[in-house]
Structure 1
Amino acid sequence: MVESNPPLLHEYSQILRQSRQDCAVQSKIVSDKYNGSSECELPLIDLRGLKSENEEERACCIKEIARASSEWGFFQVVNHGISLQLLDKMRSEQIKLFNAPFQSKASCGLLNNSYRWGTPTATCPHQFSWSEAFHIPLTKIAEDDCYGQFTSLREVMVEYASAMQELSKLLAGVLVMNLGHRKELFDEICDESTCFLRLNHYPACPISLELFGLVPHTDSDFLTILHQDEHVSGLQLMKDGKWVSVKPNKDALIVNIGDLFQAWSNDVYKSVEHKVMANSRKERFSVAYFLCPSYDSIIGSCKQPSRYKTFTFREYRNKTQEDVKLTGHKVGLPRFLLD
């Protein structure tokens, strides 16, 4: 069997063999729970409505964004102001980056040493992600010495991050105002020092029936903007207790609500579990932008009585990481529910 880059199969072969021998029943339960889905089209929102001179059209667009955030936790946006040329350039540079030898990605200080692959804490296939990624703080994107031989990537990354930052704050402002607060609220706690870009690559997986490209999870941020692969599907989300596959749309970006927005909105907006399924024949690429607050920012509900304890982003991240290390799973918001 041909090894992948990164060497996912080689490094985790013992875990996989042990799981086949000792976790057959558990694997069947996991398979029944996580596999199988129908295809859906997410709510599609034309953002030209936000800039319309017609007050009724603006109000309608805001209502659509708020409804999708409450009912789905996910939606698509078109006419978002980010050129297809920039998205295509980002994809082209991303492919070149991930095609580099494994050692070049893993040990050369590339992109602030942000390279990661697989799931080091995995003990069974259902805890393992068949993927690799660069998870880069926005503060490091402009630094020349982060890019090594990939000098053409820097200019594209800087432009891409700036465009995503502007779009994320526009959408966050809409959702904040919808609940009666100032749209600038998140500007005070979310800036380039706290946000991230994540470049994802899901290599073709010869054992795709057993593994996820990215394990089921919710996002630990306010909101995420995703440019997904327009040719290869794989993203699935939980809707009404069932997994549904998201149909790729080359003209749209995907937006999803994160845990912090759900807590801040007191469950008005929903942070929904989602995953990526591995593909046995085709590789897949995506880029995600995460709108995050500073680590010491206090997250409290905007409505009373609150369902959640007040916490800082640092406390939330630390607890999430602790749960993953101990159990292999993220618990997330339920840890912070009031009794």
Structure 2
Amino acid sequence: MSPALVLEVQTICKEDELVESHKYHKGVKHLCERGLTKVPRKYILPALERPLLSKKDGATNLKLPIIDLAQLQGPDRIHALESLSKACEEYGFFQLINHGIASESVLEMIQAARKFFELPFEERSKYMSKDQSAPVRYGTSFNQNKDRVFCWRDFIKLNCHPLSDVLPFWPSSPAELRQAVVNYSKGTKSLYLMLAKAILESLGLVETEKNIDENDSCDLLKEFEDGSQLIVANCYPSCPEPDLTLGMPPHSDYGFLTLLLPDEEVKGLQIQHEGRWVTVEPIPNSFVVNVGDHLEIFSNGKYRSVLHRVLVNPSKSRISIASLHSLPFNSMIRPSPKLVNDANPRRYKDTDFATFIQYMASHEHKNKNFLESRRLSQLGDA
């Protein structure tokens, strides 16, 4: 074959790949709506990265530590703080009960998200954007511009702070979505602030209720009150070959805390615990809360973000709602000076959201690779 002909064939192949890849940028829901009996090659993971769905592995379920918000707010707060600290250290996850958010607000949020994903593709696609800082963004996979293999997920991300600025950009259809997200975001933000204060206490950064210095506490919590919030509704359509792909690959969350409302009827969340992938058993009327990369940095490694992933289901679609919280977008995240000493030297570089977004735009998000990029090669060497 002549060099000119080889070049022509290579060019045609690359063009075909681009056309094929662009088709998947429209999302899994779009593919499924057009009829799908097999998982397309773009979604098939290498053999060693696929989930093991044998009966033996499927039976490996995990009941996470339970934190009772009522106990955290009651006379036994010190004991509850000890349980919270242990959960953050040993699991990086816990289930929160008695959270106080009205069941109507939770149900309305789930129903509004489900209705959004049921809209025609032409309506959903209005919110597709490559701008990761956009006030609203509809997309697929994890990072559809960089992912080598796409994951079986579509999402709608809504920036929730400040609400008055971002609300006009949110979808106006379905009609109930905006109000449902406003109510839900206010409830989860209040819940997050209670947990953030408890975490600061558990780390010894503010005094417990009995001896608290209100000025100290207010100064430290002010930045959390002004912090970022992102509501992400995830849709994982039923998958004809769930053993070949994942709803989300192994990853850690980049923020401070994530409050996840899991699908109570369709399990799928797995965390890596003691070297194994285990399926989380959701408790009705609870949140699954996990430590993010920013909290690992802030705690100087005392509390660790943990790898988690999402399985897909062969017969049922799955909806989950994540509320991701951290410090303000322009804040610098660094280890708390009170947690750095000779015995526990500084372990991470300073970071901010701009650094994270820049990293995400140029790298495939995999495992804890962003956090690893912020880890100091020599402890104590900033």
TM-score, with length taken from structure 2:
0.77
What pairs with 1:86-125 in structure 2 (closer than 5 Å)? 86-107=105-126, 112-119=135-142, 120-121=144-145, 124=148
Residue 298 of structure 1 corresponds to which residue in structure 2? 332
Distance 1:149 1:19 in 2: 29
SS state at 1:154 partner:
helix
Distance 1:93 1:235 in 2: 22
CA drift at 1:93: 1.5
Distance 1:132 1:229 in 2: 15
Letter in 1 for 2:348: Y
What pairs with 1:204-219 in structure 2 (closer than 5 Å)? 204-219=238-253
Matched, 1:242 2:276: yes
Residue 50 of structure 1 corresponds to which residue in structure 2? 72
Residue 8 of structure 2 corresponds to which residue in structure 1? none
Letter in 2 for 1:49: Q
Distance 1:79 1:159 in 2: 18
CA drift at 1:141: 5.2
Letter in 2 for 1:242: R
Superposed CA RMSD in Å reads 3.1
Q: 2:258 aligns with which of 224, 228, 250?
A: 224
CA drift at 1:103: 1.5
Distance 1:118 1:233 in 2: 19
Matched, 1:262 2:286: no
Letter in 2 for 1:115: Y
Contact 2:260 2:289 in 1 (8 A): yes
Q: Are the structure 2 counterparts of residues 19 and 225 from structure 1 closer, same or farther at C-alpha, using a change threshold of 3 Å? A: closer
Distance 1:308 1:212 in 2: 30
Contact 2:297 2:348 in 1 (8 A): yes
Q: Are the structure 2 counterparts of residues 78 and 168 from structure 1 closer, same or farther at C-alpha, using a change threshold of 3 Å? A: same
CA drift at 1:274: 0.4
Q: Are the structure 2 counterparts of residues 208 and 238 from structure 1 closer, same or farther at C-alpha, using a change threshold of 3 Å? A: same
CA drift at 1:293: 1.9
What pairs with 1:135-174 in structure 2 (closer than 5 Å)? 135-139=157-161, 143-144=167-168, 146-174=170-198
Contact 1:220 1:260 in 2 (8 A): yes
Over the matched positions of the two proteins, sequence identity in percent amounts to 26
Distance 2:226 2:202 in 1: 24
CA drift at 1:335: 1.1
Contact 1:232 1:282 in 2 (8 A): yes
Cα offsets for 1:56-108 (capped at 9, x unmatched): x1111111111101100000011111122211121112111111111110126
Q: 2:80 aligns with which of 52, 57, 61?
A: 61
Distance 2:53 2:294 in 1: 25
Letter in 1 for 2:187: A
CA drift at 1:45: 1.5
Matched, 1:70 2:89: yes
Q: 2:156 aligns with which of 111, 117, 134?
A: 134
Unaligned runs of 5+ in 1: 21-25
Unaligned runs of 5+ in 2: 1-26, 207-216, 378-382
CA drift at 1:212: 0.6
Which of 1 and 2 has greater Rg? Answer: 2
TM-score, with length taken from structure 1:
0.86
Contact 1:141 1:157 in 2 (8 A): no
Matched, 1:79 2:79: no
Residue 63 of structure 2 corresponds to which residue in structure 1? 41
SS state at 1:97 partner:
helix
Contact 1:201 1:286 in 2 (8 A): yes
> How many equivalent residue pairs?
325
